[in-house]
């Protein structure tokens, strides 16, 4: 794994016994010695888990044309963002397919911050820079200088509060504030990908180890990629390369709620509007097995005896059993008997609108 990038916390993961694996071009911990289930339960059962997500990309967008630029480059309506507010959004190609799903932070009137997926970072930045040629805007990739932590779970605020100089209670869901964390400048956002209350914390790399250790000392459990994906899948959240890709539009992915066709022109708008009018070629649905089994990515989904789709994310949920996200043909999205083929046996499945377990985000 010598060619892989490392986050500023790489040595900390090794010290804690993290099992390191390649992920999105980085060497990342998949789990720690107590195991994935212990990490999962720390987040779900009243405690809090600490995730190193510094492999994610951070891009600053600023200048007189920043708002107009992001209105064209992203699917959501950036004009609706107040300063201090976060928005889930996407970058599309000309055909309406996903280049990436992102979050957009409005720092000032003409200054924004984007968080992008690690595997797509270089492509996203290049894409944004190409589009920026027609706008009065500056694009700065700050990823290599930024550490990003996620503290997730019911105890997250209690653990973080003594370490910051601001009032966490004042930060609403999908809101953020600049504050010092262990006396280092930071940005603290009430966001996450687990369905629990919690925060994402942006820091300079120099503060990474100090803040990481301080939060662990407050009782948080370090969490690796495996538990993170379990928590994400239980919520039914899309993951790039699984539920979304350049071959999928927001119509198929049920992400039209972040795609504002009425805001004006944006890249991919015409293609998305056309697909919405014609109807989707496939539809993303949630499935729960009614018999024992673990649905895995790539497993075939059947409607009766007819192949209809494929699992994009699947797992055994400690709470809900065998659950999956899957694409199926539109005619099978709402009616008819479905099953997932597991080891040459078709296991019956019922349609479930995610999340598969209750969300406890603080709104």
Angle 275-256-57 from CA coordinates, rounded to 5°:
110
Q: Which CATH class is domain 10-53+144-235?
A: alpha beta
**Whole-angstrom Cα distance, residue 190 to residue 173?**
5
Where in the chain are the domains?
Answer: 10-53+144-235, 282-355+359-363
**Whole-angstrom Cα distance, residue 195 to residue 89?**
18
Under the banding of pLDDT at 50, 70 and 90, the label for residue 201 is very high
**Whole-angstrom Cα distance, residue 148 to residue 200?**
7
The predicted model scores a pTM of 0.96
Locus of tokens 């997926």: 117
Q: What confidence score (pLDDT) does residue 239 get?
A: 97
The mean per-residue pLDDT over the stretch 102-108 comes to 98
Fold of the CATH domain 282-355+359-363: Elongation Factor Tu (Ef-tu); domain 3 (2.40.30)
Under the banding of pLDDT at 50, 70 and 90, the label for residue 150 is very high
């Amino acid at each position: 794994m010598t060619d892989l990038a490392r986050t500023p916390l790489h040595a900390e993961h090794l010290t804690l016994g993290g099992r390191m694996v390649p992920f999105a071009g980085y060497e990342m911990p998949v789990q720690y010695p107590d195991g994935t289930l212990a990490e999962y339960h720390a987040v779900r059962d009243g405690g809090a888990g600490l995730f190193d997500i510094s492999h994610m990309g951070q891009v600053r967008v600023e200048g007189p044309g920043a708002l107009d630029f992001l209105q064209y480059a992203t699917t959501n309506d950036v004009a609706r963002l107040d300063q201090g507010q976060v928005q889930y959004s996407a970058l599309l190609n000309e055909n309406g397919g996903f280049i990436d799903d992102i979050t957009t932070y409005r720092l000032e009137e003409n200054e924004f911050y984007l968080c992008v997926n690690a595997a797509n970072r270089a492509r996203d930045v290049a894409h944004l820079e190409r589009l920026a040629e027609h706008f009065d805007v500056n694009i700065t990739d700050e990823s290599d200088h930024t550490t990003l932590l996620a503290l997730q779970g019911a105890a997250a605020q209690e653990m973080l509060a003594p370490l910051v100089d601001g009032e966490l209670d004042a930060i609403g869901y999908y809101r953020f504030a600049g504050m010092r964390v262990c006396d280092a400048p930071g940005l603290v956002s009430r966001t996450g990908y687990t369905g629990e209350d919690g925060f994402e914390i942006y820091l300079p790399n120099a503060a990474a180890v100090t803040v990481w250790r301080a939060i662990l000392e407050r009782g948080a459990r370090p969490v690796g990629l495996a538990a993170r994906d379990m928590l994400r899948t239980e919520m039914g959240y899309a993951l790039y390369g699984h539920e979304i890709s350049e071959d999928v539009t927001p119509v198929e992915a049920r992400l039209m709620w972040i795609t504002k066709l009425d805001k004006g022109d944006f890249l991919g708008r015409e293609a998305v509007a056309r697909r919405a009018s014609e109807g989707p070629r496939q539809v993303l649905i949630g499935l729960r097995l009614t018999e024992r089994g673990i649905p895995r990515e790539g497993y075939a989904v059947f409607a009766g005896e007819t192949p209809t789709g494929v699992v994009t994310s699947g797992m055994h949920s400690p709470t809900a059993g065998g659950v999956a996200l899957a694409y199926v043909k539109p005619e099978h999205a709402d009616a008819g008997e479905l099953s997932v083929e597991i080891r040459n046996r078709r296991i019956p499945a019922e349609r479930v609108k995610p999340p598969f377990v209750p969300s406890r985000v603080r709104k």
